[in-house]
Amino acid sequence: MAELTYREAVAEGIAQEMRRDEDVVFLGEDIGAAGGVFKATVGLLKEFGPVRVRDTPISEQAILGAAMGSAMTGLKPIAEIMFSDFLAVCWDIVANEIAKARYMTGGQMSMPLVIRTANGGGSRFGAQHSQSVENWAMMVPGLKVVAPSTPADVKGLLAAAIRDPDPVMFFEQKSLYPIKGEVPDGELVDELGTAKVLRDGDDVTICALAAMVPRAIQAAEILSSEHGIEATVVDLRSLVPLDTKTILRETAKTGRLVTVEENPRLCGWGAEVASIVADENFWDLDGPVIRITTPHIPLPAADELEDATMPSADRIVREVSEKID
């Protein structure tokens, strides 16, 4: 068992799969010689060389166009979009081409590629470099959507995403890059579409994703010590496929659902989770669903304002303790 940072786990996961399968290639802006702008891909160019690890021009369309073409012709590319905000630049390729290829060719063609991207706020990067856009990807049929919260999950889920025969959007939360965690030694391959129950409590079930997971856990400890409220915390880890079985089981157990979402409120992933729970678990609900989200606004760059917009542990504690009765 080694202690790795979230960013080191990214490079480890990619390296593990590139060693195993020579069809795996990696391309993106400044990912090679510079080791990534977030230093999440250090060492890969040195180990695998400039044919398999390619620095590209600043053109998101070129990156994903090349990834798509190479996936269509037999490779298993990993493409990096530096900031998830820039997915908007190349959304035609993502939403209309990559996501539809298997369907429109009647299964003759698969699209085994991974689009990695740094997602989310908290780093004072302003409205165009801080968005949490996992819900954009969740809305497109044909895409799988993964967003890990720990170094071990980064490595295991990234390996699973690379081995998956279909396109996977892999959202790394940029404020999590420096966090450390234990990662098992040796080959690590996780399973897409499996949530993890990180804390067990009888009063309320909190579903969270990526950077909101450590905040939800911190909030759960405060709720327990200061308010006597025992929360179950579920790390969804993957939005598509979504582990509805775990969500429904854990929600039925407590009768209360809280979603903690970094994406803006309207059509955030929690709305879909709430809808599924209302459909299938209505008679187990013991009170209204509580959604805690970033408001429906462009993210501000100023420290205090950005902190005020994103769900914090304090805000989770306040909202849950006020609304739980």
Partner 1 sequence: MAMNVIMPQLGETVSEGTVSVWHAEVGDKVSPKTPLFDVSSDKVEMEVPAPGEGTLLEVRVEAGTTVSVGEVIAIIGKEGEAVEVVAPPAAEKKETKAEITAPAPALSIATKASNRDSNGNPLSPAVRRLIAENGLDPDTISGSGAGGRIKKKDVLAHLGSGAAAKPAPRTDSLTISGETEVIPFNNLRKMTAEHMVRSKATSPHVLQAVEADFASVGRARQAVSTQWKEREGFSLTWLPFVARAVCIAIRDFQRINAQIEGESLVVQRRINLGIAVDLDFDGLVAPVVKDADRMSLSELARAIRDVSSRARANKLTPDDFTGGTYTISNSGVFGTMITAPIINQPQVAILSTDGVTKKPVVIESEDGESIAIRPVGVLAQSFDHRAIDGAYSAAFLHRVREVIETTSWKSMLT
Query: Could you list the residues that contact partner 1 (CB under 8 A)?
Result: 202, 255, 282-287, 325
Rounded to a whole number of angstroms, the minimum distance from the CB of residue 200 to partner 1 is 16
How many residues can be counted in the chain? 325
Is there a contact between 248 and 263 (Cβ–Cβ < 8 Å)? no
Tell me whether residue 126 or residue 255 sits nearer to partner 1 (CB atom): 255
Q: How far is the CB of 302 from partner 1 (least distance, A)?
A: 31
CB closer to partner 1 out of 10 and 257: 257
A 10 A CB-CB count for 146 gives 31
* Catalytic residue (one of 7, 116, 129, 144): 129
Pick 44 or 206: Cβ nearer partner 1: 206
Active site residue 129: yes
φ, ψ for residue 212, nearest 5 deg: -80, -15
* Amino acid code (one letter) for 271: A
E-assigned strands of the chain? 2-5, 24-28, 53-55, 76-83, 114-119, 144-146, 168-173, 180-183, 196-199, 204-208, 231-235, 238-240, 257-264, 290-294
Shortest distance in whole angstroms from residue 286 CB to partner 1:
4
Q: How far is the CB of 118 from partner 1 (least distance, A)?
A: 41
* Residue closer to partner 1 (CB basis): 189 or 285: 285
Task: Say if CB 277 and CB 285 are below 8 A apart.
Answer: yes
Q: Which of 274, 275, 293, 290 is nearest to 229 (CA)?
A: 290
| Nearby residues of 291 by Cβ (< 8 Å), 6 or more positions away | 258, 259, 261, 265, 268, 270, 271, 274
Q: Whole-number minimum distance, CB 325 to partner 1, in Å? A: 4
Residue of 195, 149, 152 whose CA lies nearest to 172: 149
179 versus 252: smaller Cβ distance to partner 1: 252
> Mind telling me the catalytic residues?
129
